Amino acid sequence: MPSRIRRDFTGCSQPGVQVWDMVSSRSFSGVFRRPRPIKPAPGQESVWDYPRPPKVEPRSERVVVRLGAQVIVDTTNAVRVLETSHPPVYYVPLDAFPDGVLVPVGGTTFCEFKGEASYFTITAGGTVVERGGWTYPQPARGFEALSSRVALYPEHMDSCEVDGEQVTFQEGGFYGGWITRQIVGPFKGGPGTAGW
């Protein structure tokens, strides 16, 4: 008989939301089922309605990023990547950054959809964030809109805003999603979500 295990999703945009997964009582390792998506209210989006493979969507909202008490990005020319279970990742144009803010660093990672990513150290106002942003210099087919754009990890910036709303970062320190009131989960990234 299955037993219930309560898992908290502290990254949810709606406080107090709890999601229950069914796990076989014969095995503590069990296999987690897909979490129960939060039903979006009018004007909201569920990350569980996003596609896989992901898609790129142009946006016209004002995106403002601050680091070291300085504005390092202020643009209405962002795109966001939407992927099942993930909050959107915003990519802003390379030329939106003041000179000297983006410092290329060695090392790459590979995304099965977008291709090979390279990284930047972000520096402003005496603050230095190692590998705080990434880009796809030669993105895979279907992701050409990411060329000449940079995504930033919001948890490492002083603030990231979308149309004046301070975003919450995606848990886990790997994916870099931006959570606003418009987005509902639960979200991949936190403990126990690797299999989503």
Q: Comparing 15-29, 47-61, 133-147, which segment has the lowest mean pLDDT?
A: 15-29
* Separation between Cα atoms, residue 100 and residue 155, nearest integer Å: 21
* Separation between Cα atoms, residue 196 and residue 192, nearest integer Å: 9
Q: Tell me, what's the pLDDT at 13?
A: 38
- Residue 101 inside a domain? The answer is yes
Q: pLDDT for 135-168, tens place per residue?
A: 999 999 999 999 999 999 999 999 999 999 999 9
Read off the pTM: 0.82
Per-residue pLDDT band at 32 (split at 50, 70, 90):
low
- Residue 157 inside a domain? The answer is yes
* Separation between Cα atoms, residue 116 and residue 124, nearest integer Å: 26
In which domain, by residue range, is 152 found?
A: 47-184
Q: Are 151 and 89 in contact (CB under 8 A)?
A: yes
- Residue 2 inside a domain? The answer is no
Residue 17 has pLDDT above 70, yes or no: no
Q: pLDDT for 185-194, tens place per residue?
A: 999 888 888 8
- Residue 28 inside a domain? The answer is no
User: Could you give the number of structural domains in the chain?
Assistant: 1
- Residue 21 inside a domain? The answer is no
What is the length of the chain?
196
Q: Are 170 and 187 in contact (CB under 8 A)?
A: yes
- Residue 32 inside a domain? The answer is no
> How many separate helices (H) and strands (E) can be counted in the chain?
0, 17
- Residue 34 inside a domain? The answer is no
- Residue 151 inside a domain? The answer is yes
Q: Are 124 and 112 in contact (CB under 8 A)?
A: no
Q: Which residue has the higher pLDDT, 3 or 29?
A: 29
Number of Cβ within 10 Å of residue 67's Cβ equals 24
Per-residue pLDDT band at 26 (split at 50, 70, 90):
very low
CATH number for the domain harbouring residue 95: 2.170.150.40
